[in-house]
Amino acid sequence: MSNKKPTLSSTRQAFGDTLNLMASKNKNIFVVSVDLKSSLKLSKFAKKYPNRFIECGVAEQNATAIAAGLAKSGKTVFLCSYSSFSPAINWAVIKQSICYNNCNVKIISAHSGLLTSAYGATHQMLEDIALVRVLPNMEVFSPCDAIETKKIISVVANSKTPAYVRLVRPDTPLFFDKKLSFTIGKSHVLKKGKDITILGHGPILHSAFQIHNQSLAKLSLEIINCSSIKPLDSKTILKSVKKTGRLIVIEDHQKIGGLGEAIAHLLLENNLSPKFIHLAVDNQFGQSARHCQELYDYYNIGIKALTSAIKKIIS
Amino acid sequence: MNLFFSPQTKKLQKLSWQLRQDLIDMSYYAGHIHIGGSLSALDLILSVYLSDIFNFSQNKRMRSPPVVDASKRTDDNFILSPGHTCPALYVVLAYLKYFSKVELKNYNKMGSILQGHVSKDVPGVLYSSGSLGQGLSFASGLALADKLDKKSRYTICLTSDGEHQEGQIWEALMFANKYKLNKLINIVDCNKYQINGSTQDIMPLDDLAAKYIHFGWTVKEVNGHDFNQITKMLKLAKQSDRPVCIIAHTTFGKGISFMQYDYNFHSLDRLTDFQYKKAQKEIKNHLK
Ligand SMILES: Cc1ncc(C[n+]2csc(CCOP(=O)(O)OP(=O)(O)O)c2C)c(N)n1
């Protein structure tokens, strides 16, 4: 594991750029915006395709059903906001207008998790996965970095089902293998190992590559990027856990309703009971901080917490 | 233009520039701040707290812990619905010694009471917000409880114009009319801009006053930086038999030349040294 400083890049920029590119080939791609155009890096799109950029103002519920109506008329609609508002304010509209009516709307939500540091609790969305995971017809994806964001956006733009894609505010480390392709329902083993499975979604998974503790140097960690939260890649996950017998799930989300819960359920249904630690926010609200690492430490989901979890799970 | 300035108006005017300086300091030291709307809302919040029209005496002392128990609270209610303009409320509360002014430098730092969006953990603050559109409904709940309990308390809510694009605002308007919440005053900070452009371009509100009137509210329009006008209307608002809306026409980024009318100053991570010096100089000129 190297000490090199990772290259940082923006998942939001990756989204905006990819959509822009795809829209030039696919005239059916529409954006429904709620006054967060610049934040989701859609200014170019809006300029280039004014007729396919629909600005609804700060009105998430209205925008959501409008997106569903456009989709029912054959458009591939990207509904773009922050996760604190979409799927939070518009959840019942997502359930009825998008999911129950099975409309081709992609919900792209930035500023997820504690990574929205300075803004504080109302803008640190820690419940979005729980909200969308529970909805029939909805697929849920959480890219680990900008490279994977590009791949996920290209894939969902060509699918016909409702989907949720979780993005974040700051630039985050690049660590997804460029050569890998993204497939719905498929997880990637980013590093093979045999002692402990570390599994997570989103940029926080990068901390698994930053464990530089001497006493742990001999351990072989298997690191799995579980960006496809729904559908889950049960095959890859079960195979790894059977091999290691130890599982740590790490995520920038509430414990309740998060990926960890989905995995625990998967394991139980398959009669597996590995040693299991779930690193996630434990029934608390977020708070403001200038640096996200301070929050990760405070809520016990940072590198220190991961190091302790590794020590605990092998003891 | 009103040529007569009362001593109180003069005092508020001077204070307005002093607190603008605090906001600019915060923009220089903060990790991230919503400055455009904070600068437009400042004079409205200042008028609510410092014109002696409303009662905010109970929670003033730093020494006594803030009274949060609803049955013991005697102050009027103030609700800031657009939580992102909290810096404007923070500088007013700091001036009134609800908490130490030093704390302003810690805005949105880990462990500070001064969160990036307004939080009930700040002495004197009743309601945490950040997600737009909910504050007027919350204020209506407070006002209804007071009405049922036969309390004479006023509830003043500050909303922003862009926020009126949320459907919930209009649901609150119907509710306040139904229950004749005559001690509810909604001040709208009409600065005419939001994140990505003018409110007219993003989603026009058109004749907001007419809309409020149709919803059964009493409506007044004022220049939101003219303390004579604002305080006069606040006094009048206390006498209404219906909920009152004061549409305050304000200037986005008020007082700082390069921020005024520029929606790119909706929020920023930090002022550059050059911007900070320029803003300081402009404020100093007003304080002369
Ligand atoms: C429900 C909700 N949607 C979106 C946002 C993101 N947001 C923050 S401020 C803002 C623009 C608000 O404009 P306005 O209400 O006029 O505020 P001002 O211009 O006075 O800052 C938006 C869309 C939010 N805070 N809440």
All structural domains of chain A: 8-173 (3.40.50.970), 188-314 (3.40.50.920)
Tell me if A290 and B31 make a contact (CB, 8 A cut-off). Answer: yes
A8's enclosing H/E stretch is: strand A8-9
Closest chain B residue to A53 measured between Cα atoms? B202
Q: Chain B residues with CB inside 8 Å of A287's CB?
A: 110, 115
Domain assignment present for B141: yes
Of A183, A221, A182, A223, nearest in space to A313 by CA: A221
- From the CA of A181, how far away is ligand 1's center (Å)? 37
Question: Does A59 sit in the ligand 1 pocket, CB within 6 Å?
Answer: no
Residue A1 has pLDDT above 50, yes or no: no
- From the CA of B132, how far away is ligand 1's center (Å)? 6
Among the partner residues B32, B132, B165, nearest to A119 by beta-carbon distance: B32
Domain assignment present for B171: yes
Return the bridge partners of A80, or none.
Answer: A33, A108
Question: Does B37 sit in the ligand 1 pocket, CB within 6 Å?
Answer: yes
Count CA atoms within 13 Å of residue A256 on its CB side: 5
A277's enclosing H/E stretch is: strand A275-281
What is the domain count for chain B? 1
Mean pLDDT of chain A: 97
Domain assignment present for B102: yes
Among the partner residues B115, B167, B196, nearest to A288 by beta-carbon distance: B115
A220: left (phi over 0), alpha (psi -120 to 50) or beta: beta
Least confident of A5-9, A43-47, A298-302, B72-76: B72-76
DSSP strand pairing (A163-166 vs A105-110): parallel
* pLDDT, position B1: 44
B19: left (phi over 0), alpha (psi -120 to 50) or beta: alpha
- From the CA of A107, how far away is ligand 1's center (Å)? 19
Return the bridge partners of B79, or none.
Answer: B157
Please name the residues between 24 and 43 in chain A that touch chain B, using a CB distance below 8 Å: 35-39
Domain assignment present for B1: no
Question: Does B36 sit in the ligand 1 pocket, CB within 6 Å?
Answer: yes
Domain assignment present for B112: yes
DSSP strand pairing (A53-55 vs A29-33): parallel
CATH of the domain at B43: 3.40.50.970
Least confident of A43-47, A288-292, B66-70: B66-70
Mean pLDDT calculated for residue range A51-79: 98
Q: How far apart are CA B143 and CA B157, in angstroms?
A: 10
Q: Say if residue B111 is exposed, middle or buried (CB neighbours under 10 Å; 0-12, 13-18, 19+).
A: exposed
DSSP strand pairing (A105-110 vs A221-225): unpaired
Structural domain of B70:
7-287
Domain assignment present for B241: yes
Give tens-digit pLDDT for A84-134.
Answer: 999 999 999 999 999 999 999 999 999 999 999 999 999 999 999 999 999
Domain assignment present for B2: no
ipTM summary value: 0.93
Among the partner residues A36, A122, A289, nearest to B110 by beta-carbon distance: A289
* pLDDT, position B62: 53
DSSP strand pairing (A246-254 vs A275-281): parallel
Give the number of the atom of ligand 1 that is nearest the alpha carbon of residue B83. 25
Is the distance from CB of B6 to CB of B51 less than 8 angstroms? no
DSSP of A10-30? -HHHHHHHHHHHHHHH-TTEE
What residues in chain B have per-residue pLDDT under 70? 1-4, 59-68, 70
Domain assignment present for B92: yes
Mean pLDDT calculated for residue range A254-283: 98
Q: Chain A residues with CB inside 8 Å of B83's CB?
A: 122
Tell me if A58 and B166 make a contact (CB, 8 A cut-off). Answer: yes
| CB-CB neighbours of A268 under 10 Å | 10
**Confidence category of residue A213, pLDDT binned at 50, 70, 90:** confident
Question: Does B191 sit in the ligand 1 pocket, CB within 6 Å?
Answer: yes
Give tens-digit pLDDT for A120-138.
Answer: 999 999 999 999 999 999 9
